[in-house]
Copies of this chain bind each other. A is one copy, B any other.
Amino acid sequence: MDQFVPPVKDMMFALDQFIGLDRLSSIKGFDEIDKEFLESIYGSASEIASKVIAPTNVDGDRIGVSLEKGKVSVPRGYKEAYEEYISGGWPTLSCNPGYGGQGLPSLVSMPVNEMVMAANFSWAHLVLLTNSAIRAVDAHADPFLKNMFLKKLITGRYAGTMNLTEAQAGSDLSVLNTTAVPDGDHYKITGQKIFITWGEHDLSENIIHMVLARLPDAPDGVKGISLFLVPKYLVNEDLSLGERNSLEAASIEHKLGIHGCATCVMNFEDARGYLVGEMNQGLSCMFTMMNDARIGVACESVAIAERSYQQALTFAKDRVQGEAHGQKGRVTIIHHPDVRRMLLKMRSHIEIMRVLVYVNTLELDLAEEDQGHSKRADLLTPITKGWCSELCQEITSIGLQIHGGMGYVEETGAAQHFRDSRITTIYEGTTGIQANDLIGRKVIGDQGQELRKLIADISSEINTLDAHENRLQLIKESMIHSIAVVEKSLDYILQEQPNDPFLAGSVSYSFLMMMGTFMGGWIATRSASLAIINLKNTEDSEFYEAKLVSSTFFIEQSLPLVDAYSKSLMSGSVSTMTLTEDQF
């Protein structure tokens, strides 16, 4: 029941849609990459994901992690899987070649991340959070710190964590009050952080905590936050491990899901830390990683959804129940139209969400040297994170539903994905935070310029769709309609917002969901077009016919939501803002 096979062929098709696997070498940074290279990487990653990591998933959920006397115990297989993963060099793919990385674009490593996340979502957090720490150190630390920590982080010998949240400072970091007091060449860090993913474990030799804290006399609010590197074990000049730093995991959370992931309350008491980046620039240092982290969560959403789909599909092909038109005798439930509807809803969304993650990642890869790509990546990120994580809830819920009563029984395993996925709309910025970022900073902030560019790009692509291809007609018409709806909604927001300070916040969620669905329509269009092209030159028609069907299914079943979200948002803020606190 709990097997997992990474969908490498689907991933390659998803990559093909926006970067073109036959013309990779023409894209900056992809010069030395070709289709065969990718296939070989993903083939090997698929092996370790399905055979080494995936088998640890069930124990991770049922046995989970525990904390005793400051030490975290992990389920069997975790350490072996980690050793095999790092000795295979997997964490190094997209890291700095100056410190042991392979320097490949993030897009190349994203499908590998997806496989690992789907294999064991809890376990995967260890490598994801380490990767965030790597990016922070690489981008902002001085050569001394890089020399001391970066290579070991990149090779996975050290793990990393992000220490942002405090009990009173969740979505609002301005009020955090962990302190950092200068002490010679370093600082003494004191405070308590909560929700620290893999804050403690012994899977790696050392743990490098990236901690937000305030210097004495720092300004109030977000302008007084600095970033510090605080190792679990101090490191000597010869890079050997030194004494234990004064920090510890005080407790671990009892969570709805990701039971196989140690989410810690961390206490720092005069712990030795090193400043990373400039004083009081901690938040902006964190922001440089924000896009990566958020796309990462979107990728997690794809991964769990895929895992949930595979499990539901296996069940639907196996479970015999009832009779069906055109079939003799009792049938497996995949023959029931409503079960097929549910499977197609899962599948069509997963395929589209995957492409959205890849597109966004590509834009980010290209952003370093191109302002246009940078702005596009900034615009897409909250859509990608918000929409994919929201859809992931629906998909894993359907995955459970397909199992009927068995889905409600934990042993079946469908419920795990439902529970695990529930975190994705919350961490790295809730859906509300994404929606506010999108409508505020990314759209109203530039008076809709970047969004209009995106709509224009989509529009011109839709207009060039082959008018003689019957199977694209419905898609073309539907998208032309949706483009008009999105434009009207944007006009409405830009026009009303100056007169209504509550408008943006009140309609932000509908706007984000509208944009996600609209982007889905664009991707479905690309996917259908590419499938039709491939159908003409392939013997693998079953595969591309299925892609054409699932893209069409999305256009028929989900794209109409663009209208519904638009109507919702154009109702404005009045009903949302009228009630007093007591009237709720």
Contact = CB atoms under 8 A, between A and B. Distances in A.
A96 interface: no
B172 A341 contact: no
Contact of A581 (B317, B406, B510, B582): B317
Contacts of A418: 256, 422
A582 B338 contact: no
Interface residues of A, number: 96
Given A418-B256, A505-B338, A549-B579, A405 B432 contact: no
Contacts of A506: 337-338, 340-341
Interface stretch (A131-139, A351-359, A553-561): A553-561
A256 B341 CA distance: 24
A371 B322 CA distance: 31
Contacts of A532: none
Interface in A425-440: 425-427, 430-432, 435-436
Given A557-B568, A563-B560, A584-B347, A430 B401 contact: yes
Contacts of A567: 556, 560
Interface string A332-346: 101011111111100
Nearest to A542: B583
A127 interface: no
A109 interface: no
A521 to B, nearest CB: 13
Nearest to A505: B337
Nearest to A503: B337
Nearest to A403: B426
Contacts of A415: 256, 422
A87 interface: no
A426 B397 contact: no
Interface in A298-327: 313, 316-317, 320-322, 325-326
A168 interface: yes
A408 B257 contact: yes
A67 interface: no
A98 interface: no
Nearest to A506: B337
Interface string A168-191: 101110110000000000000000
Given A407-B426, A431-B401, A584-B343, A168 B256 contact: no
A552 interface: yes
A255 interface: yes
Q: Which 5 A-B pairs have the closest CB atoms?
A: A337-B505, A556-B571, A560-B567, A338-B432, A560-B564
Given A325-B501, A340-B577, A561-B564, 15 more contacts: A171-B321, A254-B409, A255-B408, A256-B418, A316-B584, A338-B505, A344-B575, A397-B422, A401-B431, A419-B419, A542-B583, A543-B583, A553-B576, A560-B563, A561-B561
Interface of A: 165, 168, 170-172, 174-175, 194-195, 253-257, 313, 316-317, 320-322, 325-326, 330, 332, 334, 336-344, 347, 393, 397, 400-401, 404-411, 415, 418-419, 422-423, 425-427, 430-432, 435-436, 501-502, 504-506, 508-510, 542-543, 545-546, 549, 552-553, 556-558, 560-561, 563-564, 567-568, 571, 573, 575-584
6 contacts: A325-B501, A338-B435, A340-B576, A343-B584, A344-B575, A408-B423
